[in-house]
A and B are shown apart, each in its own frame.
Chain A
């Protein structure tokens, strides 16, 4: 009896494991940091987040880090050790209220302090939507630049995680991309995270920094130890190609990179892969230059397709590159259902197979 039960349990474990493995079907390929950034050390994405905040806290005495459960190190371990190092008045828990966290950060920033706020999951940023969209985004504008909250950065974990279901999986960047005054950033790796987060913290505008939580532990690479910035508003061409441009951000970059390798090998199609990195202000120049060259564009993101940020890119590119386009712009994104239904994640995701099909469609058009 006992043996039978044990078998059942282990079978369940195996099932759930395989489910998780399947859902996170991307291959993280570490980058090599530019040599000029010097010495590196192995970090996963959450350690690179901690490292960036560590640098900020050490350099800027006004900087504070706060949110739900950040004091003991955070539910994803992104703030480990910071409280011990910088004191409990600089790294502290807040009451459980997202609108309060955002507003508190706005107030700190308006009073001249560097505010690094954490919203535990991007799915829970909506209670703070009013504070972010009506207040943070418009603070400078509405005061004729008398006041601003540019020293505010809101960090929040985003994206699919294999089993996060409806409220631990969402990619909500498009909601904020529609609100002038905010900058929106999504990194793809630890090296990128550190450089982009340091830029976000120092940028004189409020920034929402989405951290792909599936990469927190899975993405490990050699991250430069020193202080460095990666500019906001600049996309990065990761793979040069001549037939199709694929634009993506966050975890999905790794999916489309793999797609580019597969279609190169199996179908001899050359893809140019672009990591957008900053959603607002987005680097339309890099994207349009690439599409002018390749004549074909695929945009891929985890968020729902309708009114996702891919729609903005598609509309913009068709206007700017109309004469260069050889095929309709394709969007491979999440379906227009609440993202992400628990046990259906594998089917929901804009995975490599769906992307490969899109590549075939645009090439054969």
Chain B
């Protein structure tokens, strides 16, 4: 059938319409330059029936600055810190590791109910914290105590929260390690995993509208990244172009679950580009690599107003928590190997030794000093009473509702006659 023949059956207008369809179809069948223009995809068509096999894609490489011995590989990547800043970072790492050990023991002795160590992840914590503006808002998971310490949270504040006393940041309402600090811009931690990630996107949107030159950072583990909230957060952040840094601590395990049972893709980093996000994978045991990446990410987030994903590869050297014995699902040999060969603190310590910034004498002084501080704070926290029992009725709402006040009255009435059955001495006087 030719275009000419068609004209016999249709009027002129119809003919030109049919002509246009005819030529369009003709060109699409023969021309490769015809591009797809679906609302959801604009790009090239292909006549090959070809599936994407992710295993054929190159893995996202892992950025590092120092090798395992603490030697900088490419000097142009060495951050320009003065000695004081370097020592501050090391002190925080040291303090945190001592604190971890002492709290772990305290839990074992039944002095505190629960604790979660940071062992193996201190470089990722301190390196990223150092790259942020102190005003940047942090939404954390729970294994980021180093970030908070670096910002100026004191060991006393940690102890007060852990012991749940009246000075604690949450007034004894949450489990240990669920820190928060308004003045240090560290949003109070909660146990439900990944919930903080899309919240961080919302906060970043508010920052973007305020044009305050700040960004938001959210930390999470690779296990939490499996939650729906993580996908939602990445998508929202990308769609709304918010200044948000996603900082994933990929430490190989979610409690007992190894990454092989967590995902099949190229870690968490590979998901970034899928959401349209700027992405990098870094050696999380390399403080400088983490610092450089976070600093650059911050620049991108704030200047270009778009989210950035950092996946810091590391290894959880400690147990998941004090309620977990990790040798039930991984070998002691495996742990020891990482402890010896790829320990982020040793790496940074070696760097400082090589530079002559840190000496053995300084280290042992620091150890003793930190131990002293921690024990002092712990003793003080232990001796500080809990808030009054009626504190538990506060902060449910901005003001207690009539019903809550009625229930508080019921408790007070009850305690009038039965207080001998309650641990009144541990609490401030009613």
Asked if chains A and B come from one complex, the reply is yes
**Pairwise interchain contact B190-A99, C-beta atoms closer than 8 A:** no
Would you give the 0/1 interface string for B227-240, flagging 1 where the beta carbon is closer than 8 Å to chain A?
01100110110011
State whether the Cβ of B314 lies closer than 8 Å to any Cβ in chain A: no
State whether the Cβ of A138 lies closer than 8 Å to any Cβ in chain B: yes
Report the bound CA distance from A204 to B401 in whole Å.
13
Interface size class of B (residues with CB under 8 A): 35 or more
State whether the Cβ of A41 lies closer than 8 Å to any Cβ in chain B: no
Name the A residues within 8 Å of B131 (CB-CB): none
Report the bound CA distance from A327 to B192 in whole Å.
45
State whether the Cβ of B26 lies closer than 8 Å to any Cβ in chain A: no
**Chain A, range 132-162, C-beta contacts under 8 Å to B:** 134-135, 138, 140-148, 150
Residue of B nearest to A183 (CB): B397
Given contacts A110-B199, A142-B174, A143-B169, contact A103 B206 (CB under 8 A): no
Q: Chain B CB within 10 Å — which of A95, A104, A138, A282 has the most? A: A104
Report the bound CA distance from A284 to B407 in whole Å.
14
Residue of B nearest to A105 (CB): B202
Q: Output the least CB separation between B141 and chain A (Å).
A: 14
Report the bound CA distance from A180 to B404 in whole Å.
10
**Pairwise interchain contact A147-B395, C-beta atoms closer than 8 A:** no
Identify which of B17-25, B177-185, B249-257, B259-267 touches chain A: B177-185
Identify which of A26-34, A68-76, A111-119, A298-306 touches chain B: A111-119
Would you give the 0/1 interface string for A61-86, flagging 1 where the beta carbon is closer than 8 Å to chain B?
01010000000000000000000000
Partner of A97, one of B137, B216, B235: B235
Name the B residues within 8 Å of A144 (CB-CB): 168-171, 173, 180, 188, 395
Given contacts A107-B205, A113-B206, A113-B209, contact A138 B190 (CB under 8 A): yes
Name the A residues within 8 Å of B201 (CB-CB): 100, 103-104, 107
Partner of A111, one of B203, B398, B401: B203
Would you give the 0/1 interface string for A157-184, flagging 1 where the beta carbon is closer than 8 Å to chain B?
0000000000000000000000011010
Q: Output the least CB separation between B315 and chain A (Å).
A: 30
Partner of A100, one of B171, B181, B232: B232
Report the bound CA distance from A143 to B173 in whole Å.
8
Given contacts A104-B205, A107-B200, A142-B174, contact A97 B232 (CB under 8 A): yes
Partner of B233, one of A103, A150, A181, A205: A103
State whether the Cβ of B403 lies closer than 8 Å to any Cβ in chain A: yes
State whether the Cβ of B430 lies closer than 8 Å to any Cβ in chain A: no
**Pairwise interchain contact A108-B202, C-beta atoms closer than 8 A:** yes
Name the A residues within 8 Å of B137 (CB-CB): 111
**Pairwise interchain contact B396-A103, C-beta atoms closer than 8 A:** no
Q: Output the least CB separation between B151 and chain A (Å).
A: 14
**Pairwise interchain contact A204-B233, C-beta atoms closer than 8 A:** no
Would you give the 0/1 interface string for B345-372, flagging 1 where the beta carbon is closer than 8 Å to chain A?
0000000000000000000000000000
State whether the Cβ of B402 lies closer than 8 Å to any Cβ in chain A: yes
Name the B residues within 8 Å of A183 (CB-CB): 397
**Pairwise interchain contact B235-A134, C-beta atoms closer than 8 A:** no
Name the B residues within 8 Å of A146 (CB-CB): 169-170, 180-182, 188
Given contacts A108-B205, A110-B202, A130-B192, contact A233 B232 (CB under 8 A): no
**Pairwise interchain contact A150-B190, C-beta atoms closer than 8 A:** no
Q: Chain A CB within 10 Å — which of B137, B168, B187 has the most? A: B187
Q: Output the least CB separation between A296 and chain B (Å).
A: 24
State whether the Cβ of A281 lies closer than 8 Å to any Cβ in chain B: yes
Interface size class of A (residues with CB under 8 A): 35 or more
Q: Output the least CB separation between B142 and chain A (Å).
A: 13
State whether the Cβ of A60 lies closer than 8 Å to any Cβ in chain B: no
Given contacts A62-B209, A99-B228, A110-B187, contact A141 B396 (CB under 8 A): yes
Q: Chain B CB within 10 Å — which of A111, A115, A233 has the most? A: A111
State whether the Cβ of B204 lies closer than 8 Å to any Cβ in chain A: yes
Name the A residues within 8 Å of B146 (CB-CB): none
**Chain B, range 206-243, C-beta contacts under 8 Å to A:** 206-207, 209, 216, 228-229, 232-233, 235-236, 239-240
Partner of A103, one of B174, B187, B199, B404: B199
**Pairwise interchain contact A135-B188, C-beta atoms closer than 8 A:** no
State whether the Cβ of B284 lies closer than 8 Å to any Cβ in chain A: no
Report the bound CA distance from A233 to B200 in whole Å.
31
Given contacts A104-B205, A147-B180, contact A285 B402 (CB under 8 A): yes
**Pairwise interchain contact B229-A99, C-beta atoms closer than 8 A:** yes
State whether the Cβ of B344 lies closer than 8 Å to any Cβ in chain A: no
**Pairwise interchain contact A142-B203, C-beta atoms closer than 8 A:** no
**Pairwise interchain contact B199-A150, C-beta atoms closer than 8 A:** no
Report the bound CA distance from A330 to B424 in whole Å.
43
**Chain A, range 3-45, C-beta contacts under 8 Å to B:** none
Q: Chain A CB within 10 Å — which of B139, B195, B235 has the most? A: B195
Would you give the 0/1 interface string for B10-36, flagging 1 where the beta carbon is closer than 8 Å to chain A?
000000000000000000000000000
Report the bound CA distance from A113 to B181 in whole Å.
19
**Pairwise interchain contact B202-A104, C-beta atoms closer than 8 A:** yes
Given contacts A62-B206, A140-B395, contact A281 B401 (CB under 8 A): yes
A142-B178, A285-B402 are known contacts; what are 14 more A-B pairs with Cβ within 8 Å?
A92-B240, A100-B235, A104-B201, A107-B201, A110-B199, A110-B202, A115-B202, A142-B170, A142-B173, A145-B395, A146-B188, A147-B180, A180-B404, A183-B397
Can you report 29 A-B residue pairs in the complex whose CB atoms are below 8 A from each other? Answer: A89-B209, A95-B232, A95-B239, A100-B235, A104-B199, A105-B202, A107-B201, A107-B203, A111-B202, A111-B216, A113-B205, A113-B206, A131-B198, A131-B199, A131-B229, A134-B192, A135-B190, A140-B397, A141-B173, A144-B170, A144-B173, A144-B395, A180-B396, A204-B398, A233-B401, A233-B402, A282-B403, A284-B403, A285-B402
Q: Which chain A residues have a beta carbon within 8 Å of chain B's beta carbons? A: 62, 64, 89, 92, 94-95, 97, 99-100, 103-113, 115, 127, 130-131, 134-135, 138, 140-148, 150, 180-181, 183, 204-205, 233, 281-282, 284-285
Q: Which chain B residues have a beta carbon within 8 Å of chain A's beta carbons? A: 137, 139, 168-171, 173-174, 178, 180-182, 187-188, 190, 192, 195, 197-207, 209, 216, 228-229, 232-233, 235-236, 239-240, 394-398, 401-404
List of 10 A-B pairs having minimum Cβ-Cβ separation, nearest first = A107-B202, A103-B198, A143-B188, A100-B232, A111-B206, A107-B199, A104-B202, A281-B401, A111-B203, A107-B203
